[in-house]
Structures are given as C-alpha cells and as structure tokens.
Amino acid sequence: MASEPATAVELEEEQRLVEEAQAGNLDSMRPILERYAQPLYGTVILPRLGDAASAEEVLRDTLATAVEKIGRFTWQGKSIYPWLRQIAINKVFDVHRQAKRSRRLADALVHEVPAETDPDSHADAQLMADQERRAHRIKIDETLDVLAERYRLAIELRLVQELPREDCAKRLNVTIGTFDVLLFRAVRAFRKHFGSDVPEETHGD
Amino acid sequence: MATKRDDDDILTGSVPSPEDEATPAERAHAKTFADLVDKTLAGRTPPAMSADDRALLEVATVIRAAAGNAELATAKRDALVESALRQAIGGKAVKSGAVTPIAKARARRAPWIIAGASMVVAAAAILLWFAAPRRVHVVDHVIDHAPAALQDNWKSRPADPLIGPISRDHAGDASARLDTIFADRLDGYRELRMRGGH
C-alpha cells in the first residue's frame, strides 16, 4: 500500500464517486472499494482475526455493506475510509460473537486511531492505515520484548522476515527439529503475553 | 504420543524455557505446527486443524500482518470487490475467480438474451436430429476401450504402503499423516484431470 497521503484532487474524485453512488449508480463505488480493500484487509481485519479465509469473507461483507448503506454516509470533507474501517471492525466483532470464540486478538489490538472519531479531522486513509500498522507493530514489539531472546529471534526470523525453516535453524545454530520446537514454544509464549492486560470479562460478549 | 493432557496444556499451561529438552510429543506437535506455518506462508492454509493449532496459527498470522506480510493479491481483491458489489445489488455472491464487471454485464445482457434463446432452440433441434446415431457410436467407443485398466494411483487403495508402521513416538502426528495421504491422492486426481480424464 502506498503511504502517500491523498491529494485534494483524489478526495474530490472520491466525493464525486460517493455522490454518484448515492444517486443510484452503485458501480461507481468500485474504484473506492478497490483502493481501500488492501488497507482494510491488512491493517484492520486480518490482524484482528488471524485467519485469512475469515478475513476475506469479512472484507467482502464489509464492502457489500458499504455499498448497501452508502445512502446513509454523509460526506464531511474527509475520506470515506474511516467509515469503511468502522464497518469492518463491527463485522470482525460479529464474527467473534457468532463463532463464540475468544476476542483476545481483537481486544489486544484496541487502539483506536484518533482521527476515526474526530469528525473535524481531515486525516487521510493511507496515513490512518500506516498509523494503525505502526500501532499494531508497537503492540507486537512490546510482547516480543518480554519473551526469552531465542523465542524472540525465532519469531522474528520465521514470521517477520519469513525465512525458510532451514535458514532459521542455521541462524540459531540448531537442527530444524529443534527450531520447530523453539518456534512452537515462542508462539505459545507470545500468545500468553499478547493482550494479557485486556480484562478477561470482555472476551465472551 | 500426544495425550489429552498435553493438548489441554498447549494454550493454558506454562511454556518451557528455550533450553528445556522437548518431549517426543512436543516435537511431534511442533513439527505439525511448523508444517502449518509453512503452508500458511505459501497461502495454502489447510481448512481443518485442531483448535489449539488454529489458535496458535492465528497468533502467527497477527504477527505477520503487523509486519506488513499479509498482502491481498490484486486478483483476489478484484474478485472480492466484484462479489461485494453483486451481493449488495442483490445478485448471488461470487466466491472467487475471474468475474465480469457488473456494469459491463448489464449493458450486454439484453441483446444476448434474445440471441442466446434462438441459439439454444436451434442447437437443441440439431442435437435431437443427430442424437441416436451418435449414441451408438459412443457406446462402441467405450466398449473398445473398456479393457484398458486404470492406473493404481487413480483407484481406491489402502494407505498402509504410503504411511508404513506408526511408531508410538509418532502416534500424535496424525495431522502430518493425513496431509501425506491427501497430497498423494491429490496427485493422482490432478494427473487424471491434466490428461483430460474426469
């Protein structure tokens, strides 16, 4: 995703497309949906679900809901992205509720982007997505910092740098089987600490 | 062998330190999880896995997503956008694959309905005319080739030669064994499809 902020021209174009959609030409939403699908998926939905297949379903439902309810959207001189983001977050919590599964991942990433709730803000979608990704990364790093050094390295090499298992094992000077055990334990340890400050009673509702 | 108690402990139990020796059961589970991570990184997350593995894999995916390693492919994105538009407008949701944009589809629809209906009627008449003789020909063709035996990897068969004896140490590694059997069967299926079989 590009990190460049949207220009005034792009915002004008977005406003025009939204107005067209509100006038009945729903297909005019297509460029907007295409632009924001990746930031919604990569920074809002997938990090709160942790499952690619579910995340794709939620993204599709989010975009469909946006098209269905575009008539209720009020243009306030800023991007439509915060509105799409809020729909996505609501859908994520619907999934957690329906599946009766722990909301620990979603709750652990509760750090609302301030611009989202500020109607006077002109924050750009790309900036918001970048800000959100940085916030996620900070939460991840905070958890990694409390892990044993070898666990932190195992996660860093395999899940962040995405090196092959063989290379990870070489870097840590262990066999592949031992690296598998290290990564397994590392993810277990990470899970125990991640979001551990979230009150347990908020998980099941 | 992984026991029920081991499985219960995976999410809630204490995590050993990096220097602690792993039990055979933990090694087997770690190998299964490593295979799942491999597949997930390759974009082929298996739909079925244990609840514990799923919980751990979700954590791994969150870490990857936060690192910016979770991109939505353009083709997938376009398919999801198209599916969402269809769903919102009232059409049937499309799960994936190439799709025709709805605006184009609408614009083309009317003239093709008339032309298509005419073509169907004409094709049906021609098929009815030639159906009987062709059917006899097809039957002859099938009989001529009936003795050709199917290859072993296209038929139902026991998995024992593939898996071999299961030692007690590897008894908990059922997931990996299922993957092996599935991959073997899929190879046969793909081979059959690629050569034009059904």
Contact between residue A41 and residue A56 where contact means Cβ atoms under 8 Å apart: yes
DSSP string, B158-180: -SHHHH----GGGTT-HHHHHHH
Q: What is the pLDDT of residue B13?
A: 82
The stretches in chain A having pLDDT less than 50 are 1-3, 112-122, 198-205
CA dist., res. A147 & res. A140, Å (int): 11
Query: Which pair of structure tokens corresponds to residue A29?
Result: 């939403």
Nearest-CA distance from B116 to chain A in Å? Answer: 26
Exposed, middle or buried, B109 (CB in 10 Å: 0-12/13-18/19+)? exposed
Set of chain A residues whose Cβ sits within 8 Å of the Cβ of B77: 34, 37-38, 41
CA A128 to chain centre: 11
CB–CB of B67 and A56 under 8 A? no
What does each of the 198 residues of chain B score in pLDDT, given as a tens digit? 444 444 457 887 889 999 999 999 999 999 999 999 999 998 888 888 888 899 899 999 999 998 888 888 999 999 999 999 998 887 544 444 444 455 554 555 555 666 676 777 777 777 777 665 554 444 455 445 555 567 777 778 778 777 777 766 667 777 777 877 877 787 777 776 666 555
A130-188 tens-digit pLDDT: 888 888 888 899 999 999 999 999 999 999 999 999 999 999 999 999 999 999 999 99
Percent of all residues in chain A with a pLDDT value above 90, rounded to a whole number: 58
Whose tokens are 């690296």? That residue is A179
Strand, coil or helix: A118: coil
Average pLDDT over chain A reads 83
- Reported as half-sphere exposure (CB side, CA atoms, 13 A), residue B157 has a value of 16
Rounded to whole angstroms, what are the CA distances from B61 to A74, A105, A186? 35, 11, 14
Query: Which pair of structure tokens corresponds to residue A159?
Result: 């899940």
In one-letter notation, the amino acid at residue A136 is H
Nearest-CA distance from B132 to chain A in Å? Answer: 48
Out of B40, B59, B85, name the one closest to residue A30 (CB).
B85
CB–CB of A159 and B85 under 8 A? no
Contact between residue A82 and residue A128 where contact means Cβ atoms under 8 Å apart: yes
CA dist., res. A103 & res. A109, Å (int): 10
Interface test with B, best of A159, A175, A200 (most B CBs within 10 A): A159
CB count within 10 Å of CB A72 equals 8
Of A130, A131, A44, A134, which Cα lies nearest the Cα of A83?
A: A44
Set of chain B residues whose Cβ sits within 8 Å of the Cβ of A109: 62
Q: What is the ipTM of this complex?
A: 0.79
Q: What is the pLDDT of residue A147?
A: 95
- How does A10-41 read in b/e, with b if 16+ C-beta sit within 10 Å? bbeebeebbeebbeeebbbbbebbbbbbbbbb
